[in-house]
């Protein structure tokens, strides 16, 4: 048993590191990362939000649950049209995990198929968990893998996935579809998406308490051997704060409202043949230059990535396109609590963009 999800809804291919102390303060981690350590070697201390922030999460969930459900349905319809009953859902831990479960639920609701669903690790600059891929391919030799995540920012994980699948083919002669299915693709980084609007997916507001009480994934040579899966922790002690299954159920209850238009919306995306142009990267490079930032790694665009900066990194500034956007209420709350600057910056396509503070001079 790993994580708080029903084991019939997802199989985590992760090594359990729950007994190992890997957490450090945000400031210490940021200093280490900017000094050359890799972010995947340690974990942030889990943010314990105040009641007001949890209330804000529930209001956001209530406001956007139908929009999330429609995006789930549109993505699921595209996946099923392309791969059908042979689909093996492989979500990228951890933000992709609830999305993968919801896609699995929608396809069972609509087509009465019960697709296998795994959650595995991919890490920027370190690649995908090849041991997990081998495990899935052995279990489903005739299956067609479909990778799933929550959203795209500037496309780092999409590029990492493409490179990892290319390397896997070179090493093992096995070709895997590197297409990443996401709910929101504001960076134009993939061809399978629910929308390209940069909207708030409420699960981005929280960490493990909306992701099955599972930590970020870990790749640390001290604890992960050559034949091991990448690692993660199960925060069982936070079970009383867990909202993971409540979140899934709230979205699932909206499927009946969106099912009649989902297939049509999905067909429209396929027919239009939207390319993955990575056009958002041009904006990132412009912002990087304008604000004198030495690395694009310090520029995190999109609501999901900006929220991660606010929750897990040391923010310098948060750029916001429209102060009245309904997708920014949680960032205003975090800014007040954590004392970072919000800057009105209308000249971008993203709803917001997080700039990480340089702590090494």
Q: What is the pLDDT at residue 244?
A: 98
Cα–Cα separations (whole angstroms), residue 208 to 156, 245, 320, 324: 22, 12, 26, 28
Q: What is the pLDDT at residue 267?
A: 95
Q: What is the pLDDT at residue 173?
A: 96
**Per-residue model confidence as pLDDT tens digits over 24-75:** 999 999 999 999 999 999 999 988 889 999 999 999 999 999 999 999 999 9
Distance CA 182, CA 148 (A): 6
**Per-residue model confidence as pLDDT tens digits over 273-317:** 888 999 999 999 999 999 999 999 999 999 999 999 999 899 999
Q: What is the pLDDT at residue 48?
A: 86
Q: What is the pLDDT at residue 139?
A: 97
Which stretches in the chain have pLDDT values below 50? none
HEC per residue, the chain: CCCCCCCCCCEECCEECCCCCCEECHHHHHHHHHCCCCHHHCEECCCCCCHHHHHHHHHHHHHHHHHHHHHHHHHHHHHHHHHHHHEEEEEECCCHHHHHHHHHHHHHHHHCCCCCEEEECEECCCEECHHHHHHHHHHCCCCEEEEECCECCCCHHHHHHHHHHHHHHHHHCCCCCCCEEEEECCCCCCCEEEECCCCCCHHHHCCHHHCCCECCCECCCCCCCCCCCCEECECHHHHHHCCHHHHHHHHHCCHHHHHHHHHHHHHHHHHHCCCCCCCHHHHHHHHHHHCCCCCHHHEEECHHHHHHHHHHCCEEEEEECCCCCCCCHHHHHHHHHHCCEEEECCCCCCCEEEEECCCCC
């Amino acid at each position: 048993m790993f994580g708080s999800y029903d084991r019939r809804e997802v199989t985590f291919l992760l090594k359990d590191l729950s007994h190992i102390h890997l957490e450090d303060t945000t400031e210490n981690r940021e200093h280490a990362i900017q000094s050359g350590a890799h972010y995947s070697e340690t974990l942030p201390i889990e943010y314990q939000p105040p009641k007001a922030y949890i209330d804000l999460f529930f209001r956001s969930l209530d406001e956007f649950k139908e929009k999330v459900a429609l995006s789930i349905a549109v993505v699921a319809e595209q996946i099923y049209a392309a791969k059908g009953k042979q689909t093996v859902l492989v979500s990228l831990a951890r933000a992709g995990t609830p999305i993968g479960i919801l896609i699995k639920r929608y396809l069972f609701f609509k087509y009465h198929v019960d697709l296998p669903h795994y959650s595995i690790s991919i890490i920027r600059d370190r690649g995908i968990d090849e041991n997990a891929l081998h495990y899935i391919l052995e279990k489903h030799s005739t299956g067609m893998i479909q990778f799933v995540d929550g959203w795209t920012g500037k496309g780092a994980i999409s590029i990492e996935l493409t490179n990892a699948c290319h390397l896997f083919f070179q090493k093992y002669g096995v070709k895997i579809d590197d297409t990443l299915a996401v709910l929101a693709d504001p960076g134009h980084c993939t061809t399978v998406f629910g929308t390209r609007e940069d909207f708030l997916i409420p699960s981005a507001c929280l960490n493990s308490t909306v992701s099955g009480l599972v930590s970020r994934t870990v790749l640390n040579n001290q604890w992960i051997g050559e034949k091991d899966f990448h690692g993660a922790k199960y925060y069982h002690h936070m079970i009383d704060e867990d909202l993971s299954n409540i979140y899934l159920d709230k979205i699932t209850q909206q499927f009946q409202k969106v099912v009649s238009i989902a297939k049509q919306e999905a067909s429209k995306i396929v027919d239009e043949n939207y390319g993955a142009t990575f056009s958002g990267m041009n904006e990132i490079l412009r912002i990087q230059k304008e604000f004198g930032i030495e690395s694009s790694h310090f520029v995190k665009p999109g609501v999901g990535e900006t929220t991660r900066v606010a929750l897990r990194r040391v923010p310098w500034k948060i750029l916001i396109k429209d102060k009245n956007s309904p997708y920014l209420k949680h960032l205003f709350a975090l800014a007040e609590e954590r004392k970072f600057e919000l800057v009105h910056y209308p000249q971008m396509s993203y709803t917001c963009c997080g700039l990480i503070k340089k702590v090494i001079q």
